[in-house]
Structure 1
């Protein structure tokens, strides 16, 4: 338990350091974007390749992936039904709320937390692959259909060809997906005949992977210093708090129940399942909402509020299950 808590505190300290740097603007006006691009295109793909190349794929994509899929659907359904029928909002707005309640920040925050809290950076890989390759594109398609019908009438026939091509290209061009595929291939070859990357390639990959976690956490802390949320004039504050609580409390509770009931998980495996589910709402949700001009304030504010709530949530989970 002490190892888990110390790892979590390390994450919090680096985020706080990034926040202070952001407040003082020590790295300049575009530092958050630059750091995030470095992490996204270079450091995190290197980290995935470095660890996946010798990982046990059964541990990475077995029960973990099943819990990710089922818990995401159930938490999303709670958000969708609540916003649709209790708040009585349109379907597109409710779809954004579905994502706010269930779409995890699996890369920028998930990988650093998995590395230092769980000592396993691959623990968040199933949620990254599921969300990037299936969950996100599926909801984007639903958003496209429902917003077209809302704008053009219920009998409008949407043209999905360009959107489908864009979604497919977005998946196959995603550096995290590319890195995951490369890492999986290397792992299969390694377990088949013991092959490892030659040092001329392996050492640069390892060096880049070492930069992923600190750079991601510093960039995340800096980004927190730049946002203003819960404006009383523009923000649906009650809905934001509700979505954030579903994401950081209900979602991990669902994951816990599924892991215990379906797989009798315990120990480190159970902790990993629940911590991954407690990750806050990803920035992608705001990106999707902005693309269609739907519920953008809730998407933005729930990303920030759920991030703040995820810190005590993951701390409590670590105390109880660590």
Structure 2
């Protein structure tokens, strides 16, 4: 328990440092954008590759990752069913479903996995599922349902995961791990060095994003937001624990891992999708803010529960 609290303390201090950077505008108006680009194109791909390629593939494609995918899909299906019954509209329902299924697996998930769980590989299956499967499918539906008729080409949709450096690095690492190919030290050393900047950089970015956040209401947004928050912060963690304990019969630590991953708040990229498609912006923003606030006491509660 002491080690978990220390991990949360380390994460919290760096998050607060990022918040202060944004609060006093130390890095200027483009600070978050530049740091995010550096993390996304260099740091995170390096971390994913170095962590995955040097481990056995069973550590990456594990039962904990499968549970995370199952619980995410289940909660999204529940939201879609409620949205269909309440007639919230296809595109709005898709955005709402994404707020329950896409978690902040990068800026918060990776640091949490490294400092609290001991390895970034615990969130790798979640990231692969979100980037390689869930996001392309959701964006395709949003495009097909676009009343303005602005469609993306099939090739562009299908190739989306392979134009993402994080996904490419993770897939390459999994292939080398599965084939038991040993990466030469001369190649791995610079990649591992670049990977070291990733966790603190992502925590700073996430801390900066917390400055100035607010709840934005809108006509008819209360009901879908409530459903999304309940599914994301209550149903998904509870379902993950039930699967881990009574279906997969995992050990205490693994139960904590899957529960904590399920507690992770809604990913900020869902907000970007809502802005891009001009639908469900208040729903995405409010759910992201509320689940982020709730994640702190819920994560600490999970640590206490599982000892």
The answer, yes or no, to whether TM exceeds 0.5 is yes
Greater mean alpha carbon deviation, residues 53-62 or residues 22-31: 53-62
CA–CA distance in structure 2, aligned partners of residues 288 and 105 of structure 1: 14
Residue 108 to residue 242, structure 1, CA distance change in 2 (3 Å): same
Please list every run of 5 or more consecutive structure 2 residues that lacks an aligned counterpart in the other structure.
none
Asked if the contact 1:22/1:222 (under 8 Å) is kept, the reply is yes
Describe the shift of the 1:101–1:233 C-alpha distance in structure 2 as closer, same or farther (beyond 3 A).
Answer: closer
- How far the C-alpha of 1:101 sits from its partner, in A, is 1.2
1:156 alignment partner in structure 2: none
SS state at 2:105 partner: coil
2:273 maps to 1:298? no
TM-score of the aligned structures, taking structure 2 as reference length: 0.92
Give 1:102 shift.
1.6
Question: What are the within-5 Å matches in structure 2 for residues 94-243 of structure 1?
Answer: 94-148=93-147, 162-189=152-179, 191=180, 195-199=182-186, 201-227=187-213, 229-232=214-217, 236-237=221-222, 239-243=224-228
From 233, 239, 243, give the equivalent of 1:248.
233
User: Structure 1, unaligned stretches of length 5 or more?
Assistant: 153-158
Contact 2:65 2:123 in 1 (8 A): no
CA contact (8 A) 1:106 1:282 kept: yes
Question: Partners in 2 of 1:238 and 1:2 — Cα distance?
Answer: 39
Alpha-carbon offset, residue 130 of structure 1 = 0.6
Spell out, residue by residue over 1:239-290, the C-alpha distance to the aligned partner (whole angstroms, 9 max, x if none): 4344223212221111111222321112222211111111111122122222
Partner Cα distance (1:123, 1:56) in 2: 13
Instruction: Tell me, in whole angstroms, the C-alpha distance in 1 between the residues paired with 2:34 and 2:154.
Output: 29
**TM-score, length-scaled by structure 1:** 0.88
Give 1:127 deviation, angstroms: 0.6
Tell me if 1:47 matches 2:47.
yes
Mapped partners of 1:163, 1:315: distance in 2: 44
**How large is the Cα RMSD of the aligned pairs?**
2.1
Cα distance in 1, alignment partners of residues 171 and 101 from structure 2: 24
Q: How many residues align?
A: 307
